[in-house]
Chain A
């Protein structure tokens, strides 16, 4: 059975105007019908440009934002829009690791009490037990337990992210949603944190939903990868499969933008440069949302939204790479 199932999840943020009598003047289509599954112990990578809705999706799954429609099922139980009290037990199982190692730690609190937070909030153990647990956690993530009483400002970015890992780990959760956990770090530090996450996964049998805007980071840790564009998943496949044979033009473009260690492979693939800006999620394009920027788009693309289909390698594209060529003449690159 899947640990997590997300079914046709939609999250719209209304835009209001006026202060006293607020009128709704529009909405941001942050997440627009996303379906995902996560098997226990696997890592699903979620990639896309800034503003594609991946962080919103993560927060919806974690119960931080109310969901507009759709379902989030955790371990067979529907946890969509649960009231605060009913959500509480699930918060122990689902933890979030945040992107900003500076912003996600309260600068005025000591590291020990930050890591102990989940234990305190869920009323686990006595003060003494918690203190020991925090010491063990710090050691496990590669921090010196003697630094218990220090403030976040005394740690480097990488160390701070280790603090974040320790906090996420404290309740021994089953699912950790990693929201761009290494994007803010130096490349040399990134690998350390990624390796730590992998080791912890093996040790504690964790399941990760791993979000990044950079495909090269995700490949290192993910079993499967989902690519998002403007609130929708456009491609979902095994990691290697997606890297070797991207089928959605957008995934292809993302991959070609990634620095590749093997120049020959890069040559073979050719570079795809996207033109234009990401359209506004307030008023997304009709049909396939990628069509205004797509090098392969045909007439159909503007009219009908392509479904996400294709067995093990899901693609939402009328004219996927390696599939039927576009009907129009503007298709080839």
Chain B
């Protein structure tokens, strides 16, 4: 705990004002090239999406304008990319570039909105379950289990077949899919935080349950939730595209990356650009979000191993040490590195009275080897063919702890 020993005022003439845990995280992420590059890509996409109407105006190509003269060949096929149509045109002679930009608006809004809703619901449910425990916890945890183990696409089809496909239905379906993962992590964290002395201190002062939850526990949950949210946004984008592809999501003519790809399906043999550009943009976006999430995780919770670290040399050396001296073991990797006081707790607490194989309780309260934003089985990929396991950030397993 070296950082905690920094005495204010030791460095003369230089005040260390408000080096909050967040400031420390920010300082770390600023030196992380991969995360920064990903952040730039994400920002660029956001700006482009926001500026889509301006770009459309400037180019003179509206998102729904059909250029039957120059946008379609004599055989009635889409036109390949050229100076006028950067990404080529689609089957109706519309400018694919503009439609991809407009699609970004819808896809990003769906991603952010559904994840935001899921975060609100997940934090609320997880907090209540972890804080009150007992019957409340048992019921809510079972609910999370059911939501997490259910083949979601089938459920989405059932819901949309009743409600009809729309932006609202898409956001709702994705949010309902995502909240349980957040709730599980939050529950595990809450279980461990509520045993802290500072929570006891607040109680001894006469703080109400609500105040303890909001003032004392909630701020400590933000870090893992932020990490998970960064990873759920790309998952939601993928999910949206899958729903739209199946005709369950965003309804044309409103473009989204998913329904652009869906339209392109019949044309990929004659118009490679039709599929390539929307798919490429989507991949760049989700990859950037995932890498950014990876970096944020590292910055907020530096104890965990991650994919692309600026401390590569250190990690490599450590790996070498490990091979040569097995005694240092994999678990050592989690305890070294710059340990700071951001948040001393992994969710290492086994749920009291927990039953059954621990496999079902991973991210939150299983054996303490998972990190707060942890992953584990029992979490499916959205928009996939089924329950493929871990949460979208399945690239983050820590090695020990």
Contact = CB atoms under 8 A, between A and B. Distances in A.
Chains A and B touch (C-beta atoms under 8 A apart): yes
Nearest to A95: B204
Chain A, interface residues (CB within 8 Å), range = 35 or more
A121 B197 contact: no
Contacts, number: 114
Given A19-B138, A108-B219, A154 B200 contact: no
Interface in A48-84: 59, 62-64, 84
B1 to A, nearest CB: 8
A215 to B, nearest CB: 24
Interface stretch (A143-151, A234-242, A303-311, A318-326): A143-151
Contacts of B206: 84, 87-88, 91-92, 121-122
A164 B202 CA distance: 12
A96 B21 contact: no
B354 interface: yes
B162 interface: no
A292 interface: no
B82 interface: no
B207 to A, nearest CB: 5
A104 interface: yes
Given A106-B216, A108-B219, A153 B204 contact: no
A276 interface: no
B202 A117 contact: yes
B5 interface: yes
Q: How would you classify the secondary structure of chain B's contact residues: helix, strand, loop or mixed?
A: loop
A147 B353 contact: no
B20 interface: yes
Nearest to B137: A19
Contacts of B16: 154
Interface string B1-16: 1011111110000001
Interface in A97-116: 98-100, 102-110
Given A150-B8, A151-B19, A104 B341 contact: no
Interface string A113-151: 000011001100000000000000000000010010111
Nearest to B204: A96
Contact of B220 (A63, A92, A106): A106
A312 interface: no
Contact of B19 (A99, A102, A154): A154
A156 B202 contact: no
A151 B355 contact: no
Given A151-B21, A154-B16, 18 more contacts: A19-B138, A19-B355, A20-B138, A22-B353, A95-B205, A98-B201, A100-B197, A102-B341, A107-B21, A107-B344, A117-B215, A122-B206, A144-B8, A151-B20, A153-B4, A153-B341, A154-B8, A156-B7
